[in-house]
Structure 1
Amino acid sequence: MISIVIPTYNEADNIARLVSYLAGNCNKNACEIIVSDGGSTDDTLSIAQSAGAKAVLSVNKGRAAQMNFGAFIAQGDILYFIHADTFPPVTFAKDIEQAVSDGYAFGRYRTAFASKKAVLKINAFFTRFDWFVCYGGDQTLFMTKSAFNAVKGFNEQMLIMEDYDIVTRAKEMGRYKILAKNALVSARKYDTNSWLKVQWANRTIVKMYKDGRSQQEMVSKYKELLVYR
């Protein structure tokens, strides 16, 4: 079974559509959908539950902690981590099970943005390559539960870059698959900020990460450079 884990915080506007989409495209592949919430102040949890998800309040807030909590209660032997504003291909369950059957312990999709902007099409093109900058959560991440346990899950000390970290560690232990289809990602970060600002923020944070700067420094800098909505 595939256990889909969605970390959320104030995603009431998006979560019902995603849960319904995922449930409707599991086909004959058994799936469970877990929404692991970080203490939303809106109706994310109740909406997710009404849509058919197992909606739970994570013991600790923070995306790494929330994904670990979702994985802890998951019943499936395959974990699939996905953001609340991202939609995988309709064939996601079949794709993931086939990849695992082929011997891949973990992997991801390429990205397409929900936007007609040419610059975002260029960004999306490069997600087909196995580059460090493409290890983020927008591409979604599947991993066998045994592989997840072997790398001891996400590092809960990380407030940012947790996706990059777990992929880097997992690549030392198993085969990594980049699925040749696109996960559709919201462009809301680019709509709220300019493309140039987002690129500069991403470049800055990656450099800080590689330079060994503290998590709090990176979070503070990211919030300074970008506006969230």
Structure 2
Amino acid sequence: MISIIIPAHKEKSNLIQLVTYLGDMDNSGSYEIIIAQSPDCCEDIAKIANGTSVRLVKCEKKGRACQMNEGAEHAKGEIVAFLHADVRPPKDFLSNIESALATGFDAGFFSYKFDKDNFWLGINAFFTAKDGLFTGGGDQCLFIRKSVFSKLGGFDAKQVLMEDFEFFKRMKKNKIPYTIIKNDLVVSARKYESNSYLRVNLSNLLLVMLFKLGYPSQKLRFLHDKLLRTPYNG
């Protein structure tokens, strides 16, 4: 079974759309959907979890790393996949995951494209199919064997920003075999629309470089919030 874990905070509208979308996917295997809700989120999303394959976990601790860890603790599947609420996977992404792990990989990511047709965004999307500086970002939907995820200790709860890159760093250090599946997810371009292409790219580059230089995560969060406006779809 594959457990799809969705960290949620102020994303009610996107969650409704995503859960409906996942229910219409072409899949031959079993799966479950776990919505890991932030403890400080006051939205009523309980009604979303009204199907047999959807479970709502009201998390005890704040932060996306904590939400995803708590979601994984409740997961029944041997494989966990971490999906953002504003990302739409390809219809066959479950079978893609199963095929990748059946061929000897323990983890992986997906390439992606944006939901807006834009030349500059297309350049960004092109590089998600390559293994490089920005590999491991949350929008790429990390999937991993649950046993391997647990062995690595899950996401670092103290990493309040870029928890995905920090986990990927430990994956590489421990030589976990991974792949990038070239079957595009569709990622929302709302951050670019709320800021600008140049502002988002320069901010992301700065944040990644500071992270790699060991800049404290709390300061990274403060800097991120100063540089970028974060839109929600509540």
| Misfit runs of 4+, over 6 Å | none
Find the residue that maps to 1:79 and give its secondary structure.
Answer: strand
CA–CA separation in structure 2 for the residues paired with 1:109 and 1:24: 20
1:208 is the counterpart of 2:210: yes
- Normalised to the residue count of structure 2, the TM-score between the two structures is 0.94
> What amino acid sits opposite 2:197 in the alignment?
W
Post-superposition shift, 1:26?
5.3
Distance (Å, rounded) in 2 between the aligned partners of 1:146 and 1:93: 18
Deviation at 1:18, TM superposition (A): 0.5
Per the alignment, residue 188 of structure 1 pairs with 190
Letter in 2 for 1:144: R
Cα deviation for residue 3 of structure 1 reads: 0.3
1:4-15 aligned within 5 A: 4-15=4-15
Report which structure shows greater RCO (CA 8 Å, sep ≥6). 2
Q: 1:12 to 1:96 in 2, by over 3 A?
A: same
RMSD: 1.2
| Corresponding residue for residue 34 of structure 1 | 34
Whichever residue aligns with residue 11 of structure 1, its letter is E
Per-residue CA deviations over 1:56-81 (Å, capped at 9, x if unaligned) read 11111110000000000100000000
Query: What residue is the counterpart of 2:71 in the other structure?
Result: 70
Q: What secondary structure does 1:182 align onto?
A: strand
Return the offset for 1:173.
3.1
- Provide the rounded CA distance (Å) in 1 between the counterparts of 2:213 and 2:165: 15
Number of aligned residue pairs: 228
Q: Give the drift of 1:211.
A: 2.0
Q: What pairs up with 1:112-127 in 2 under 5 angstroms? A: 112-127=113-128
Between the aligned partners of 2:222 and 2:47, the Cα distance in structure 1 is 31
CA distance in 2: counterparts of 1:154 and 1:84, whole angstroms: 18
Aligned counterparts of 2:115 and 2:127: Cα–Cα separation in 1: 16
Distance in 1 separating the partners of 2:26 and 2:19: 11
1:128-161, CA deviations, whole angstroms, 9 ceiling, x for partnerless residues?
Answer: 1111312101111100011101111101110011
Alignment of 1:62-211 (within 5 A): 62-171=63-172, 172-211=174-213
Q: 1-side partners of 2:133 and 2:206: how far apart?
A: 14
Aligned equivalents of 2:47, 2:112: Cα separation in 1: 27
TM-fit CA distance, 1:200:
1.3
SS in 2 for 1:36: strand
Question: 2:57 corresponds to which residue?
Answer: 56
Structure 2 residue runs of 5 or longer lacking an equivalent are none
Helix, strand or coil at the partner of 1:208: helix
Q: Deviations over 1:157-191 (max 9, x none)?
A: 10011111111211233211110110100001001
Q: Secondary structure at the match of 1:133?
A: coil
Sequence identity (%): 38
- Alpha-carbon distance in 2 for matches of 1:26, 1:79: 18
Q: 3-state DSSP class of the match of 1:90?
A: coil
TM-score of the aligned structures, taking structure 1 as reference length: 0.96
In 2, the alpha carbon distance for the partners of 1:130 and 1:10 equals 31
CA distance in 2, matches of 1:47, 1:187: 27
Shift in CA distance, 26/58, structure 1 to aligned 2, threshold 3 Å: farther
Residues 147 and 170, structure 1, Cα contact 8 Å, conserved in 2: no
